[in-house]
Structure 1
Amino acid sequence: MRASNLTILTGMALFAAVLPGAAQATEAAAGHYVIGANAAPGAGIVPPEPGLYWASQTLYYQGTLGRSVQLPIAGRIESGLQAGFFSTAIAGLYVPKLDLGNFSLAFSVALPLQNLDARIFSGTRERSENNWSFGDMVITPVALGYRSGQNFFQARLDIFAPTGNYSTSSIANVGMNYWSFVPTIAYTRLGRNYDLSIGAGIDLNTRNPKTRYTSGAMFHLDATAIYDVAPGFGLGILASMMSQVADDRGGIAARLNGFRGQSFAVGPIARYNFQLGSAHLQTMFSWAPEFGVENRPTGNAFQFRVSGRF
Structure 2
Amino acid sequence: MDDRMVKAGLLAGAILTMVTMADPARATEGGGSAYPHGAEGWMTGMLPPEGTYLLNYSTYNNADRLNDGDGDRVPLDFEAEAFANTFRFVHVTDKKILGGTYAFQVLVPMVDLRVDMGGRRDHRAGLGDIVVDPFILGWHIDKLHIAAGLDIILPTGRYDRNALANIGRNYLTFEPAVALTYHDPEGPELSAKLMYDMSTRNKATDYQSGDEFHVDFAAGWNFPKWSLGAAGYYNQQTTDDRQGGVVVGDGNRGTAFAIGPTVKVQAGKVPIMLTWQHEVVARNRSQGDKLWIKAIFSLGGHP
TM-score w.r.t. the length of structure 1 is 0.82
Q: Distance in 2 between matches of 1:99 and 1:256?
A: 48
Does structure 1 retain, via aligned residues, the 8 Å contact 2:210–2:239?
yes
Q: Distance in 1 between matches of 2:77 and 2:265?
A: 39
Q: What code does the residue aligned with 1:132 have?
A: A
Tell me what 2:192 maps to. 198
> Secondary structure, in 3 states, of the residue corresponding to 1:96?
strand
Q: Distance in 1 between matches of 2:94 and 2:161?
A: 45
Structure 1 residue 138, shift from structure 2 partner: 0.5
Q: What code does the residue aligned with 2:145 have?
A: F
Q: Distance in 1 between matches of 2:96 and 2:66?
A: 55
| Aligned residue runs from structure 1 range 118-157, under 5 A | 118-121=115-118, 126-157=119-150
Tell me what 2:7 maps to. none
Q: Using a 3 Å threshold, how does the CA distance of structure 1 residues 68 and 195 change in structure 2: closer, same or farther?
A: closer
Q: Using a 3 Å threshold, how does the CA distance of structure 1 residues 81 and 181 change in structure 2: closer, same or farther?
A: farther
Q: What code does the residue aligned with 2:250 have?
A: N
Structure 1 residue 28, shift from structure 2 partner: 5.0
| Aligned residue runs from structure 1 range 281-292, under 5 A | 281-292=270-281
Deviations 1:261-307 (A, max 9, x none): 111011111111122xxxx2111011110022111111001110111
Tell me what 1:298 maps to. 287
Deviations 1:59-113 (A, max 9, x none): 11111334989xxxxxxxx966421111111111111222569521110001111
| Identity across the alignment (%) | 29
Of 205, 226, 229, 2:220 maps to 226
| Aligned residue runs from structure 1 range 223-302, under 5 A | 223-229=217-223, 231-251=224-244, 254-275=247-268, 280-302=269-291
Task: Judge which range, 112-121 or 245-254, deviates more.
Answer: 245-254
Tell me what 1:108 maps to. 105
Tell me what 1:92 maps to. 89
Tell me what 2:39 maps to. 37
Deviations 1:132-171 (A, max 9, x none): 1100001011111111111111111111000000011211
Of 168, 177, 181, 2:174 maps to 181
> Secondary structure, in 3 states, of the residue corresponding to 1:290?
strand
TM-score w.r.t. the length of structure 2 is 0.84
Q: Distance in 1 between matches of 2:195 and 2:181?
A: 15
Does structure 1 retain, via aligned residues, the 8 Å contact 2:159–2:167?
yes
Q: Distance in 2 between matches of 1:209 and 1:200?
A: 28
Q: Using a 3 Å threshold, how does the CA distance of structure 1 residues 67 and 79 change in structure 2: closer, same or farther?
A: farther
Does structure 2 retain, via aligned residues, the 8 Å contact 1:35–1:301?
no
Q: Distance in 2 between matches of 1:46 and 1:233?
A: 20
Q: Distance in 2 between matches of 1:288 and 1:105?
A: 32
Q: What code does the residue aligned with 1:221 have?
A: V
Whether 1:83 aligns to 2:80 is yes
Q: Distance in 1 between matches of 2:27 and 2:297?
A: 33
Q: Distance in 1 between matches of 2:222 and 2:282?
A: 32
| Aligned residue runs from structure 1 range 156-167, under 5 A | 156-167=149-160
Does structure 2 retain, via aligned residues, the 8 Å contact 1:198–1:224?
yes
Does structure 1 retain, via aligned residues, the 8 Å contact 2:236–2:255?
yes
Tell me what 1:7 maps to. none
Deviations 1:164-192 (A, max 9, x none): 00011211101011111110111111113
Tell me what 1:217 maps to. 211
Give ranges in structure 1 of 5+ residues lacking alignment.
Answer: 1-17, 70-77
Q: Distance in 1 between matches of 2:152 and 2:46?
A: 19
Structure 1 residue 196, shift from structure 2 partner: 1.3
Does structure 1 retain, via aligned residues, the 8 Å contact 2:84–2:112?
yes
Task: Judge which range, 102-111 or 129-138, deviates more.
Answer: 102-111
Tell me what 1:58 maps to. 58
